[in-house]
């Protein structure tokens, strides 16, 4: 038995719900500058190396991750463009890599049909929404055909909530409260709040996940050492919380997972956060 297989047998499944490709079609300079702060030496070489999906799977193994959700991003004004085609090609034939598409009301007219095509014809397993970057409210009626399609297809919707440091982003669109309407109108649709309302709205994210059976918090971009400060009653909702790293901007995946394991949470709750909840939503 390999060391990797032995490690898997000694613990539950580990899923990173929030991974970007290192090499985008286009990144704005301010994004690259921010990324480089976390990679003071060799950032360009780092992302080029893991632009190869085989090398990236080796990185996941080294970090103790069994599956990773890889996110497309169509944000030409604020951050950059990582096309759905890029993500599809990167994940193709690699079951450990779970592709999430991006469908934007600024770029697509029939959002429901576009999502159905992405899932049924192209093999995407989820969709990532970027309202803070694309400038729309999550309860905008234009989005409802997408939510209906995602509910029918049984795929999760991952949504950027909370703050962003990148130029052109608008904070008002990151308010998790907009999801209250969506959760009520689509009760079988699993909604995952990336960054858990980071900055302004931790309390709203926590309350919504506690209130609605179909709303989840996701921890990407949040330091584990601060989680019990942001969410003092985190132990009460561990079945509604999902780990994500925001790689490559946050490169230390294993370190953050280990730090979550040391929080004052029940062992079963830690397993839920680090993979069990995500596995259920992804039907792994």
Q: How do residues 51-94 score in pLDDT, each as one tens digit?
A: 999 999 999 999 999 999 999 999 999 999 999 999 999 999 99
Please report the pLDDT score of residue 8 as a whole number. 56
What's the number of domains the chain is made of?
1
Q: How many residues would you count in the chain?
A: 284
Phi, psi torsion values for 26, nearest 5 degrees: -150, 130
User: Is this prediction's pTM over 0.85?
Assistant: yes
What does the pLDDT look like over 37-55, one tens digit per residue? 888 788 889 999 999 999 9
What does the pLDDT look like over 238-275, one tens digit per residue? 999 999 999 999 999 999 999 999 999 999 999 999 99
Beta partners for 80? 27, 75
CB 235: neighbour CB atoms within 10 A?
13
What does the pLDDT look like over 180-209, one tens digit per residue? 999 999 999 999 999 999 998 999 999 999
Mean pLDDT across 224-249: 97
* Secondary structure (DSSP) of the chain: --HHHHHHHHS---EEEEEE-SS-SEE-HHHHHHHHHT-TTTHHHHHHHTTSHHHHHHHHHHHT-SEEEEE-EEETTTTEEE-HHHHHHHHTT-TTEEEEE---TTT-S-HHHHHHHHHHTT---EEEE-HHHHT--TT-GGGHHHHHHHHHHT--EEEE-S---STT--GGGG-TTHHHHHHHH-TT--EEEEGGGTTT-HHHHHHHHHH-TTEEEE-TT--GGGHHHH-TTGGG-GGGEE----BTTS--HHHHHHHHHTSS--HHHHHIIIIIHHHHHHT-
Asked whether the predicted pLDDT for residue 227 surpasses 50, the reply is yes
What does the pLDDT look like over 144-177, one tens digit per residue? 999 999 999 999 999 999 988 888 889 999 999 9
CATH number at residue 214: 3.20.20.140
Cis peptide before 248 (omega within 30 of 0): yes
Structural domain range at position 153: 3-282
User: Residue 4: pLDDT band by 50, 70, 90 thresholds?
Assistant: low
Please report the pLDDT score of residue 1 as a whole number. 44
């Amino acid at each position: 038995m390999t060391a990797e297989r032995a490690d898997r047998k000694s613990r539950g499944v580990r899923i990173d719900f929030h991974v970007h490709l290192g090499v985008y079609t286009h990144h704005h300079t301010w994004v690259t500058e921010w990324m480089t702060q976390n990679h003071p030496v060799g950032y360009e070489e780092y992302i080029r190396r893991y632009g190869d999906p085989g090398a990236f799977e080796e990185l996941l193994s080294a970090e103790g991750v069994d599956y990773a959700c890889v996110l497309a991003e169509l944000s030409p004004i604020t951050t950059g463009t990582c096309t759905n085609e890029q993500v599809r090609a990167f994940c193709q034939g690699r079951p450990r890599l779970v592709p999430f598409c991006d469908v934007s009301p600024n770029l697509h007219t029939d959002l429901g049909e576009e999502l159905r095509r992405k899932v049924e014809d192209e093999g995407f397993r989820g969709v990532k929404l970027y309202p803070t970057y694309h400038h729309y409210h999550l309860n905008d009626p234009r989005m409802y055909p997408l939510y209906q399609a995602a509910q029918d297809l049984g795929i999760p919707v991952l949504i950027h909530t909370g703050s962003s440091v990148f130029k052109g982003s608008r904070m008002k669109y990151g308010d998790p409260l907009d999801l209250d309407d969506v959760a009520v109108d689509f009760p079988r649709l699993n909604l995952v709040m990336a960054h858990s309302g980071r900055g302004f709205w931790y309390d709203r994210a926590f309350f919504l996940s506690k209130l609605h059976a179909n709303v989840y918090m996701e921890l990407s971009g949040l330091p584990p050492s601060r989680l019990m400060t942001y969410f003092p009653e985190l132990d009460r909702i561990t079945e509604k919380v999902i780990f994500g790293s925001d790689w490559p901007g946050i490169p230390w995946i294993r370190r953050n997972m280990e730090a979550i394991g040391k929080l004052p949470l029940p062992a079963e709750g830690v397993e839920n956060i680090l993979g069990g909840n995500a596995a259920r939503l992804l039907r792994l």
